[in-house]
Amino acid sequence: VENLVVDKEFWLGKRVLVTGHTGFKGGWLVLLLHELGAEVHGLALEDAPPFGIYAQGRISNLLISEHFVDICDLKTTQKIFKEVQPEIVFHLAAESLVGRSYGDPYQTFLTNVMGTLNVIKSCQELRFKVALVVVTSDKCYENQELGRPFAETDSMGGFDPYSASKGCAEIVSRSMAHALSEKEELRIVTARSGNVFGGGDWNEGRLIPDLFRALRAENSLLLRHPDSIRPWQFVLDPLKGYLMLAKYAFEVKGHKFGAFNFGPRITDQINVLELATLFKLRIPSLNFRVDVDAAGTFHEQGILRLNSEKAFNYLGWRPKLTMEQSVNLTCEWYIALMHEQSLLGGIISKQVSEYLDMKYDAT
């Protein structure tokens, strides 16, 4: 049965820690949690871009406490967890870019694997019931490009360092959950979602931020992999899934571990050129050109699709927005940033509250 709304009663007053709150998805997650009445704390690096969601959404003001800590530093991470005493932890802090993972594979594995292990250990030592949502990626799967959507039972893998580190984070999470004693009340779930877009992302090497960066520089973006299919989705859709997953892990008796995909409808799993074209239809001054011969800076997967039936069957989750609605909401954000920045705060609040009220129900 589909849950049409996020359970506001559950979240009211819950002590929640978000790692990676200065990032794109972390910022939006804090906005959702704050709107739901949770007591939200943040832990991340102090690396937010000036025009991103953290700065423009004034995320800092929404937090009960904020900690600029490297998750590779176990002692300090443990100290913060003991201070905050979270009941729910969303672990999003990561090296999140394939391109940067080639530049520094060692640091990528340190942050994404050892950092995840440190977060799990910090939760474990709290010795009360904690639900931990470890956010990995659709790229955690061994991808043989068969074209079939991945299910949670498929093998972990990853060729580039980012994908491999996310596959490792999955294996570490499952094994740590398996090694918990009967008395330990930590519940670990992993969330694998696809390529997410929405307002306030400026990460390099991602299609939508790159398109808007090119627009600001009055350039045309070079599309090297126009045929690559990705499970694109609006940022609030998978985040809603993470909220439902955390509640599920917290409430289901004896739960130790589970992995869940959160992807768009199969019909919305489109290629790079199709998505860029949808944005250009909305904002004609966005420019791009295709040059497949320029490809080959580093290996990228061609086809990546997700099967999200498990999230629907267990949680009642499915994406709410059509691709057109997702593109419109994203464009609304960037247009305001470029032309009428004073409206941005209102647009962010409206997008969050209307999303939670299901004003955009595509089903």
**Contact status: 70 vs ligand NAD (CB under 6 A):** yes
Total binding residues for ligand NAD by CB under 6 A? 26
Longest CA pairwise span in the chain (Å): 60
- CA angle 234/238/240 to nearest 5° reads 110
Q: How far is the CB of 254 from ligand NAD (least distance, A)?
A: 27
**Contact status: 71 vs ligand NAD (CB under 6 A):** yes
Neighbours of 253 (CB within 10 A): 4
Q: Site map for ligand NAD, 135-174, x if CB under 6 A?
A: x-x-------------------------------------
**Contact status: 347 vs ligand NAD (CB under 6 A):** no
- How buried is 304 (Cβ within 10 angstroms: 0-12 exposed, 13-18 middle, 19+ buried)? buried
**Which of 57/184 has CB closer to ligand NAD?**
57
Neighbours of 307 (CB within 10 A): 18
What dihedral do alpha carbons 201, 203, 204, 208 form, nearest 10°? -20
Which region, judged by CB under 6 A, interacts with ligand NAD, from 17-25, 143-151, 211-219, 256-264?
17-25
**Contact status: 94 vs ligand NAD (CB under 6 A):** yes
- DSSP secondary structure of 91-127: E--S---HHHHHH-HHHHHIIIIIHHHHHHHHHHTT-
Q: Which residue is at the shortest CB distance from ligand NAD?
A: 23
- How buried is 127 (Cβ within 10 angstroms: 0-12 exposed, 13-18 middle, 19+ buried)? exposed
**Options 6, 14, 16, 23; binder of ligand NAD; rule CB under 6 A:** 23
Q: How far is the CB of 98 from ligand NAD (least distance, A)?
A: 10
Where do contacts with ligand NAD occur on this chain (CB under 6 A)? 20-26, 44-45, 47, 70-72, 92-96, 111, 115, 135, 137, 193, 195-196, 203
